[in-house]
A and B are shown apart, each in its own frame.
Chain A
């Protein structure tokens, strides 16, 4: 009941916001409060040991849409809520049209629904609603570059969703169900049926377009870096994560360990390489989102409880940090008037102090410096990865992260002569608080034994070495371009890459 009420209320608030008027902002606050109450209630029910499973409308299990609230869904729902609050605080003084709030309500409502749904076609519709709302939000300011970025986003996502629907067709034809759990039971009964690789490749490929996997999501860098900061934060923290959530669901149905590891490593490495190459600050963050999704996939592909928990942990930590970074960087860029790191460096005095502190905190968290949540999550994730090769790759990605973020170091130390202070400190404080709170919270997710095992000196040492090496790489490469092609990110290349990606996933499942 609470599970479905959460999205439905958001939709109702969205419908009311369509009317416009001066109550729009008050309604968005009311929506946040309602969400908080419902989420608390769900958390209490779960803590009380209840298993939250409903079929919408009270229909039989075989015909209705099933919603399940569990310990994977709840933290992500909490993350969505936290980011919604941050965005509300960040845009508090901005002049926004009711239209913006309508889209926001719909986006958050559908994200809540996505977290709980167990139905493949329901997931398809939700993902489409997410695509459309986020697509409109990217183009909200109507700058031509934004429009072009979001049009590419729409086209590629639509191709991806068509692949997903084709996958649904294959799976439904052979099993007669759309429910993930029932599908898993079917496949467990006959794990070598010839259609399984095709269905898995289509479903995974389709969602991967939305989830920010490198082969598939070539629209992502442009869309994320050109949107307005609040929207970028939501895209990175919420919309992308919904694709990842669906991938995790699929991982419970199909044997996807190897696929996830391969895709994760490829995504991580390519994301990092492009991040090192670019000097556009917002683009850097966007490429980073890719590399971090790579981490998540590696964690989920490692097939151990610890790494999966670590991945979940990391998904939330990344959502918080990346949102903080996008918001802070957005403000810095607005103050300086350019998103080029070199221009920002020259004008760094005009960036407000709070913004620079926020950037520093976000950086430290993403790079994985010990007291921050990023470190814990990363350590837990790595503790579950047993293959040496994959561990090395994870290490390389860590080094790359440090290297690409070293570019931001010169921004930090300067006396502030800020002239364009905008009252967004509350958003930073909120996210900062969430990050600080996240440490004890993650302890409730991850068993104490795993947690204490990771807080050991090898992990500290590893983090330290990674940062040092990263800085070294940064000094070494300084000013030199890696020569990676930029034209990869066009529509045509994106389409070819999606088809190629589906075939690769298919080959991995079929022949390996």
Chain B
């Protein structure tokens, strides 16, 4: 049940990412932790089909073994690209925040944005 396999490691990585998100205050490192959380789910999906005797899901005339389940791999490709998009945009927003608050410390930004007078229009 608690075997040493891809799924277990993926969930452990997921946990590490979550902890990073909770404990570290620097926004850049928070984003790194978020990236780890996302990669962990990808590892989990890929590991669903990984097996010693399977063949990669590419058909060749002389197939000796059955291919591994290709669906998780196919959907994971979309997930990787989506994670990249999220990261790039999040980094841009961090840049904009740094321009205004001159720090990447989330607690500091939180405090300054709360005390800040909102000017409308």
Binding site for B on A (CB under 8 A): 121, 124-125, 128, 131-132, 135-136, 139, 142-145, 147-148, 150-151, 154-155, 158-159, 162, 165-166, 168-169, 172-173, 178, 333-334, 337-339, 486, 490-492, 495-496, 499
Which 6 A-B pairs rank lowest in CB-CB distance, beginning with the nearest? A144-B100, A165-B41, A151-B93, A162-B41, A128-B82, A495-B21
Taken residue by residue from 43 to 79, chain B's Cβ proximity to chain A (1 for < 8 Å, 0 otherwise) reads as 0110010000000000000000000000110010011
B16 within 8 A of A: no
Considering the chains assembled together, what is the distance between the CA atoms of A147 and B40 in angstroms?
Answer: 27
Q: Report whether A125 and B82 are in contact in the complex, using a CB–CB cutoff of 8 Å.
A: yes
Q: Which of B27, B38, B93, B114 has the most CB of A within 10 A?
A: B93
CB distance from B65 to the nearest CB of A (A): 20
Q: Report whether B90 and A151 are in contact in the complex, using a CB–CB cutoff of 8 Å.
A: yes
Residues in chain A near residue B89, CB distance under 8 A:
132, 135-136, 154
Q: A145-B113, A490-B106 are in contact. Are A158 and B86 (CB under 8 A)?
A: yes
Q: A144-B116, A165-B45 are in contact. Are A159 and B109 (CB under 8 A)?
A: no
Q: Report whether B118 and A162 are in contact in the complex, using a CB–CB cutoff of 8 Å.
A: no
Q: A150, A158, A172, A178: which contacts B93 (Cβ < 8 A)?
A: A150
> How many residues on the B side are at the interface (Cβ–Cβ under 8 A)?
45
Q: Report whether A155 and B40 are in contact in the complex, using a CB–CB cutoff of 8 Å.
A: no
Residues in chain B near residue A496, CB distance under 8 A:
22
Q: B79, B93, B100: which contacts A165 (Cβ < 8 A)?
A: B79
Residues in chain A near residue B48, CB distance under 8 A:
169, 172-173
Q: B45, B90, B97, B114: which contacts A154 (Cβ < 8 A)?
A: B90
Q: Report whether A154 and B21 are in contact in the complex, using a CB–CB cutoff of 8 Å.
A: no
Q: Report whether B96 and A159 are in contact in the complex, using a CB–CB cutoff of 8 Å.
A: no
Residue of A nearest to B101 (CB): A144
CB distance from A506 to the nearest CB of B (A): 14
Residues in chain A near residue B107, CB distance under 8 A:
490
Considering the chains assembled together, what is the distance between the CA atoms of A307 and B41 in angstroms?
Answer: 36
Q: A132, A139, A147, A338: which contacts B85 (Cβ < 8 A)?
A: A132
CB distance from B51 to the nearest CB of A (A): 13
Q: Report whether A339 and B118 are in contact in the complex, using a CB–CB cutoff of 8 Å.
A: yes
Q: Report whether B14 and A162 are in contact in the complex, using a CB–CB cutoff of 8 Å.
A: yes
Q: Report whether B44 and A155 are in contact in the complex, using a CB–CB cutoff of 8 Å.
A: no
Q: A337-B121, A495-B21 are in contact. Are A148 and B40 (CB under 8 A)?
A: no
Q: A125, A132, A154, A339: which contacts B78 (Cβ < 8 A)?
A: A125
CB distance from A312 to the nearest CB of B (A): 30
Residue of A nearest to B46 (CB): A169
CB distance from A488 to the nearest CB of B (A): 12
CB distance from B96 to the nearest CB of A (A): 5
7 contacts between A and B (CB under 8 A): A132-B85, A144-B113, A144-B116, A150-B93, A155-B31, A159-B34, A162-B37
Q: Which of A131, A147, A150 has the most CB of B within 10 A?
A: A147
Q: Report whether B40 and A162 are in contact in the complex, using a CB–CB cutoff of 8 Å.
A: yes
Considering the chains assembled together, what is the distance between the CA atoms of A131 and B113 in angstroms?
Answer: 23
Residues in chain B near residue A169, CB distance under 8 A:
7, 41, 44-45, 48, 72
Residues in chain A near residue B100, CB distance under 8 A:
144, 147
Q: A131, A148, A339, A492: which contacts B97 (Cβ < 8 A)?
A: A148
Q: Report whether B18 and A495 are in contact in the complex, using a CB–CB cutoff of 8 Å.
A: yes
Considering the chains assembled together, what is the distance between the CA atoms of A334 and B18 in angstroms?
Answer: 39
B94 within 8 A of A: yes
CB distance from B75 to the nearest CB of A (A): 5
Q: Report whether B113 and A151 are in contact in the complex, using a CB–CB cutoff of 8 Å.
A: no
Q: Report whether B113 and A154 are in contact in the complex, using a CB–CB cutoff of 8 Å.
A: no
Residues in chain B near residue A495, CB distance under 8 A:
18, 21-22
